[in-house]
Structure 1
Amino acid sequence: MIQTYSRKQKIKQLLAILLPILVTQVTMQLMGFFDTIMSGQFSTEHLAGVAMAVSIWVPVYTGLSGIFLAVTPIIAQHVGAGRRDKIASSLIQAAYLSIIVGVAVIVIGAFVLDPIFNWMTLEPEVARVAREYLSALGIGVIPLFLYTVLRASIDGLGQTRITMFITLLSFPINVFLNYCFIFGKFGMPRLGGVGAGLATAITYIVIFIIAVILMKRNEMMRSLGMLGRFEAVSFAHWKEVLAIGVPIGLSIFFEVSVFSAVTLLMSKYDTVTIASHQSALSFASLLYMLPLSIAMSMTIVIGFEVGAKRIQDAKQYARIGILSAVSLSVFCAIFLFLFNENTARLYSNDPQVIALTQVFMVYAIFFQLSDAVAAPVQGILRGYKDVKSVFIIAFCSYWIVGLPVGYVLAQTTSLEAYGYWVGLIAGLAIGAVALFLRMAHIERKAKQGELAI
């Protein structure tokens, strides 16, 4: 990354960082997209089983991996401030921490999965697929968390093309392995939805290995000492990562887990409703990669400018990012409205699932508009290392407003399952407004020199 002096230069640098992130995020989301589609083509029960498993795994992974996203603003600010000697230690210490977290997830998962599925009122085959999917996924948990640290470090340097390249290499591997293990091709066992979990775990291992190889061969990263040595554990570094990362992880957890909670609450409905809800949510999540990628880009460029104490430049980047996200989300909302039937047919051949998915997708349109503001503003605030406010707003908007309103609507009105989506839309809209107001406050403090950097 370099200092920029005009809006045109900022747009050019932002695009250079954003486009690889977008490709990376969309490709990673497509892995889950193909898990869902290919499991749905196997059977509706396996689609529902994967939906249940994903509803448990995604909030756990995204919440815990969010801790290590702290490495991105830490390294970006090191780069902006010229503290090159501190970059390698930030990566190495976060990697140590990620191993501990990965082991904890595996151990805890071994004890809690059976009680969770015994509590849920699922059809036996749906419960079996969900349980075995998560067990297979556990093989790749530690490599996944390690890769998250490596990716956050690479992105913090502004080298987002490298993570794009890694993801593009891994995507066809994931789809091929899905094909083999779901449908029993090329001599592999025919595992259905469980095969999607095994394929994803192997893919996690592959992307970690590829990342290590590329970082070892990158001249700039070698000069910074990244992956070039081992260090003694530094609790001071762990404290820095946790102080920034835990609020990031919690805010992501509260956002993602509320969708999983809705999916779990929908276990009272029939398998067709569960499958339709998950199909619509899967596509909405794919479209969310646009504002999310802009948010991740904002964290990098804002962190770089704030580290160099160029607050006005950071503010200009923020406005460019928000405007871009709003424009793209309006386009996506129009697309989703016009082509919802075609999109629904990608997930299932069952006419009932297709019809219900179309209705859910209409509600998903409103997610796009609120996300256009909420996502980039979250990225901007993280660039300033203002993470506690994002966590508080996420908790209140989803768990104090969104889920309770959705539950009441689902239980007391004719909306039934759709009521959950209406409640979440309300919570997301309130959260977007609160985040924007917080961003304006932080920018004023930074401009007046009252913000610790």
Structure 2
Amino acid sequence: MKQTFTMLQKIKQLFSILWPILVAQVTIFSMNFFDTLMSGHASTDDLAGVAIGSSIWVPVGAGLGGIFVAVTPIVAHLIGGNRKKEIAFKVIQGIYLALFVSLLVIGGGIIALDSILSLMGLEDNVLRISRSYLVALASGIPALFIYQVLRAFIDALGKTRITMVIALVSLPINIALNYIFIFGQFGLPPLGGVGAGIASTITYYCMVIMALTIILRNHSFSSYQLFNKFYRLSLKEWKEQLKIGLPIGFAIFVETSIFAVVALLMSSFNTVTIAAHQVAMNFSSMLYMVPLSISSALTILVGFEVGANRQRDARQYSYLGMGMSIGLACICAAVLLLFSEKVAALYSKEAEVIEMAQHFLIYALFFQLSDAIGAPIQGTLRGYKDVNATFYIACISYWGIGLPAGYYMAQNTPLEASGYWIGLILGLAVSAICLSGRLMVVQRRQKAL
């Protein structure tokens, strides 16, 4: 990254950081997409089982994984302030923290998983698939969290093409492993949705091995000497990283868990409804990768400019990112409107699932505008290291407004399952409005300094 002086230079630098992140995000998300898609072609029970398992894992994994996003603004500030010698210590402590958190997650799963699943009233076969899928996934958690730390370090240096390449290589590995384990190849028995969990775990370890190899051998990263010295575990540094990372992680958890809770509430409906909801949510989540990628790019660039005390440049990047996000959201919404039937047919051959999924996909159109505003603002605020307000806004918007409204409509109106979708739309809209107000306050405060 480098200092820019004109708007054209900023657009070029934003795009150069953004497009590899977007490719990487879409590619990594595609792993979940193919887990769901290929499980659905095994059977509707496998699709529903993976849907329930993902609904439990995604908010936990995304929320706790969000803690390690803190490494990105920390490293970006150090680079902007020309304090590069401190980076190795920060990253290694992040790896230690990732290992500790992964052990906590696995331990918590051993204690609580069976109780959670038993409360959901699932059909026996769907429950079995969900449990086995999560157990298979658990052994890959340490690799996933360590990779997230390494990715945060790589991206903070502006070398986003590296993580893009890792993602692009990992996707065909994951698809091939899905094919082997889900459908049973090379003498292995067909495992259905459970095989998707095994494939994901192996893929996570491949990703962390690739990242470590590049960091050790590429001069752009090896010059930071991450592994040239042994660093003792520092609880003080953990505290500093958690001060930034926990609000980020909790905000991500609150946002993703609302979608997971809705998916779990959908379990009171039949298997077709569960499957159709998963289809629509899975595809709309893929479209979310666009504003999410812009958010990640803004964290890097705004953090870099704030670290160098160039407040005007930081504001200009935030405006550019938001404008780009809204424009792309309009394009994505148009694509979804025109091709909803074809999208639904990708996931299932059953006419009932396709018809209901199309209905849910129409609601996903309204997700796009709120996400296009809210996600880039979250990334900008992280660049400023302003993370607490985002967490509070998420709690109020999703749990205080969106979920209660959706539950009421689903239980007390003819909308039934569609009521949950309307509640989610309401929560996202409130969040986008509140985040806009918070950004104005933060930028006005920075301008006054």
C-alpha separation in 2, matches of 1:102 and 1:278: 26
Partner of residue 43, structure 2: 43
Q: Cα offset for 1:189?
A: 2.3
Partner of residue 243, structure 1: 243
Moved over 3 A (4+): none
Partner of residue 409, structure 1: 409
Q: Cα offset for 1:157?
A: 1.0
Matched, 1:59 2:59: yes
C-alpha separation in 1, matches of 2:226 and 2:248: 24
Q: Report the number of matched residues.
A: 449
Partner of residue 439, structure 2: 439
CA deviations on 1:81-120 (whole Å, 9 max, x unpaired) are 0010111111000100110011111111111111111111
Contact 1:222/1:228, CA 8 A, preserved across alignment: no
Matched, 1:234 2:224: no
C-alpha separation in 1, matches of 2:338 and 2:110: 44
Matched, 1:104 2:104: yes
Q: Cα offset for 1:218?
A: 1.4
For the aligned residues, what is the CA RMSD? 0.6
Partner of residue 317, structure 2: 317
C-alpha separation in 1, matches of 2:317 and 2:295: 11
Residue type at the aligned position of 1:217: R
Partner of residue 305, structure 1: 305
Residue type at the aligned position of 1:338: L
Q: Cα offset for 1:220?
A: 2.3
Q: Cα offset for 1:236?
A: 2.0
Residue type at the aligned position of 1:252: I
Partner of residue 152, structure 2: 152
- TM-score for both structures, normalised by structure 1: 0.98
C-alpha separation in 2, matches of 1:206 and 1:383: 30
Partner of residue 293, structure 1: 293
Which moved further from structure 2: 392-401 or 232-241? 232-241
Contact 1:181/1:195, CA 8 A, preserved across alignment: yes
Q: Cα offset for 1:185?
A: 1.3
Q: Cα offset for 1:239?
A: 1.1
Pairs within 5 Å for 1:159-198: 159-198=159-198
Partner of residue 360, structure 1: 360
C-alpha separation in 2, matches of 1:112 and 1:425: 31
Partner of residue 117, structure 1: 117
Partner of residue 377, structure 1: 377
Which sections of structure 1, spanning at least 5 residues, go unmatched? Answer: none
Residue type at the aligned position of 1:431: S
C-alpha separation in 2, matches of 1:414 and 1:273: 15
Which SS does the other structure have where 2:347 is aligned? Answer: coil
Partner of residue 140, structure 2: 140
Contact 1:215/1:227, CA 8 A, preserved across alignment: no
Contact 1:276/1:353, CA 8 A, preserved across alignment: yes
Residue type at the aligned position of 2:116: I
Residue type at the aligned position of 1:19: W
C-alpha separation in 1, matches of 2:236 and 2:105: 24
Q: Cα offset for 1:228?
A: 2.7
Which SS does the other structure have where 1:65 is aligned? Answer: helix
Contact 1:181/1:196, CA 8 A, preserved across alignment: yes
CA deviations on 1:177-201 (whole Å, 9 max, x unpaired) are 0000000012222100000000001
C-alpha separation in 2, matches of 1:29 and 1:220: 27
Which SS does the other structure have where 1:346 is aligned? Answer: helix
Matched, 1:278 2:284: no
Pairs within 5 Å for 1:242-261: 242-261=242-261
C-alpha separation in 2, matches of 1:386 and 1:72: 13
Partner of residue 22, structure 2: 22
C-alpha separation in 2, matches of 1:359 and 1:215: 46
The percentage of aligned residue pairs carrying the same residue is 54
Which SS does the other structure have where 1:69 is aligned? Answer: helix
- TM-score for both structures, normalised by structure 2: 0.99
C-alpha separation in 1, matches of 2:425 and 2:385: 27
Residue type at the aligned position of 2:410: A
Partner of residue 448, structure 1: 448
CA deviations on 1:366-411 (whole Å, 9 max, x unpaired) are 0011100000000000000000011111111000000000000001
C-alpha separation in 1, matches of 2:227 and 2:245: 21
C-alpha separation in 1, matches of 2:11 and 2:312: 15
C-alpha separation in 2, matches of 1:189 and 1:158: 44
Q: Cα offset for 1:230?
A: 2.0
Partner of residue 201, structure 2: 201
Residue type at the aligned position of 2:46: H
Residue type at the aligned position of 2:103: V
Contact 1:326/1:372, CA 8 A, preserved across alignment: yes
Residue type at the aligned position of 2:48: A
C-alpha separation in 2, matches of 1:329 and 1:46: 32
C-alpha separation in 2, matches of 1:327 and 1:78: 32
Which sections of structure 2, spanning at least 5 residues, go unmatched? Answer: none
C-alpha separation in 1, matches of 2:203 and 2:141: 11
Residue type at the aligned position of 1:340: S
